[in-house]
């Protein structure tokens, strides 16, 4: 699937496909032509991705082939033991969590999951968690605290689910408790924004010592469409809203809200999952090492100080 600003790349790749189809073995002319086209396509991709507009980044961050949390689990963790349920109402598949081993370090991992197939997307509510999901996260963060396990969270959600049941079962309270617990545990927390970091539903899992963002991910107080329909009174102004909200990883880094940006491969994460996973793993390892090397182990106190100082005018 090509995004509309990738039209030229799509044309090159279409031609390459065509040539491959008609070429026989050892047809050197066609092979040379294909190589030329591949170079052109890559160059084009590089040019496009070097200067993506905020609205284009929104589309990349939402790309259906972007690696999801379950792929992160498979690629970066061994011995994953899925833990289910909030112990009071239900199990929310929009948030996956459990015990795992990360490069020889035992950890607790928690992340939102959008799903790949239609069935999965329905089961996970397209990655929009219910209060039960946040309450499971709270339960498992507390467990991690008891067993001295670092917590790694992965965020890719448009936001918490807006529905009747979700409201009646206290969506707001569940998010608030998840933030509260994140600020109470005394183990290191590293959060990674994989794709979309949508509002309260995202910060519920991203109140962390280190917040990392993939290069083309976004993190925002409201979706550009939602913002446009309220402030511009028309969702057609989503492009303007995306510009104004300053929601790209680069913006957040310059505002001192996040700690680092994880580089994505040429043409973004959805084109090369394997490279993305390796870079992601290395970034997490280095953040975790950094935190664990702190001898005072005052993770809770430092985290609170970090958030109190955040958005201080002197820093932005």
Q: Does 23 bind another protein (CB under 8 A)?
A: no
By CB under 8 A, residue 252 contacts another protein: yes
Q: Which of 44, 96, 112, 199 binds another protein (CB under 8 A)?
A: 199
Residue 261 binds to another protein (criterion: CB under 8 A): no
Q: Using the rule CB under 8 A, which residue among 16, 34, 100, 179 binds another protein?
A: 179
Number of residues this chain uses to bind another protein (CB under 8 A):
55
Under the binding rule (CB under 8 A), the answer on residue 121 touching another protein is no
Query: Counting contacts by CB under 8 A, is residue 177 touching another protein?
Result: yes
95 binds another protein (CB under 8 A): no
Which one, 39 or 231, has the nearer CB to another protein? Answer: 231
Binding mask 269-308 for another protein (x = CB under 8 A): -----------------------------------x--xx
Q: How far apart are the first and last CA of the chain?
A: 38
Secondary structure string (H, E, C) spanning the chain? CCCHHHHHHHHHHHHHHHHHHHCCCCCHHHHHHHHHHHHHHHHHHHHHHHCCCHHHHHHHHCCCCCCCHHHHHHHHCEEEEECCCCCCCCCCCCEEEEEEEECCEEEEEEEECCCCCHHHHHHCHHHCCCHHHHHHHHHHHHHHHHCCCCEEEEEEECCCCCCHHHHHCCHHHHHHHHHHHHCCCCCCEEEEEEEEEEHHHHHCCCCCCEEEEECCCEEECCCHHHHHHHHHCCHHHHHHHHHHHCCEHHHHHHCCCCCEEECCCCCCHHHCHHHHHHHHHHHHHHHHHHHHCCCCCCHHHHHHHHHHHCCCHHHC
d(CA 31, CA 24): 10
Report the distance separating Cα 294 and Cα 128, nearest Å. 35
In the complex with another protein, the residue whose CB is nearer, 77 or 161, is: 161
Residue 203, interface with another protein (CB under 8 A)? yes
Q: Which is nearer to another protein, 241 or 268 (CB)?
A: 241
241 contributes a contact to another protein by CB under 8 A: yes
Of 79-87, 233-241, 264-272, 288-296, the segment contacting another protein by CB under 8 A is 233-241
User: Taking the complex as a whole, how short is the minimal distance between the CB of residue 65 and another protein, in angstroms?
Assistant: 24
Task: Indicate whether 166 belongs to the interface with another protein (CB under 8 A).
Answer: yes
Interaction of residue 112 with another protein, rule CB under 8 A: no
Which residues would be at the binding site for another protein (CB under 8 A)?
A: 160-164, 166-173, 175-177, 179-180, 182-184, 199-200, 203-204, 207, 219-222, 226-227, 230-233, 237, 240-241, 244-247, 251-252, 255, 257, 304, 307-308, 310-311, 313-314, 316
């Amino acid at each position: 699937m090509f995004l509309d600003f990738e039209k030229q790349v799509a044309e090159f790749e279409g031609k390459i496909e065509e040539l491959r189809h008609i070429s026989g073995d050892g047809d050197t002319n066609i092979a040379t032509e294909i190589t030329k086209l591949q170079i052109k396509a890559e160059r084009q991709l590089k040019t496009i991705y070097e200067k993506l507009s905020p609205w284009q980044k929104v589309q990349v961050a939402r790309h259906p082939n972007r690696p999801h949390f379950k792929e992160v689990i498979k690629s970066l963790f061994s011995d994953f033991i899925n833990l289910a349920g909030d112990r009071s109402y239900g199990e929310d598949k929009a948030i996956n969590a459990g015990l795992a081993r990360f490069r020889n370090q035992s950890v607790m991992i928690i992340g939102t999951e959008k799903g790949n197939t239609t069935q999965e997307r329905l089961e996970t509510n397209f990655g929009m968690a219910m209060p039960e999901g946040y309450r499971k996260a709270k339960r498992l963060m507390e467990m991690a605290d008891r067993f001295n396990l670092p917590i790694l969270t992965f965020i890719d959600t448009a936001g918490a689910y807006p529905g009747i049941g979700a409201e009646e079962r206290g969506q707001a309270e569940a998010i608030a408790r998840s933030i509260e617990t994140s600020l109470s545990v005394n183990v290191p927390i590293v959060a990674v924004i994989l794709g979309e970091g949508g509002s309260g539903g995202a910060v519920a899992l991203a109140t962390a010592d280190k917040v990392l963002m993939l290069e083309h991910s976004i993190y925002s107080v409201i979706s550009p469409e939602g913002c446009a329909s309220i402030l511009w009174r028309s969702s057609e102004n989503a492009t303007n809203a995306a510009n104004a909200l300053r929601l790209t990883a680069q913006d957040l880094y310059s505002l001192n809200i996040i700690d680092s940006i994880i580089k994505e491969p040429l043409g973004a994460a959805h084109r090369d999952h394997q490279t993305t996973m390796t870079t992601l793993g290395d970034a997490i390892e280095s953040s975790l090492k950094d935190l664990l090397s702190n001898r005072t182990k005052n993770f809770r106190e430092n985290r609170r100080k970090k958030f109190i100082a955040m958005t201080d005018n002197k820093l932005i």
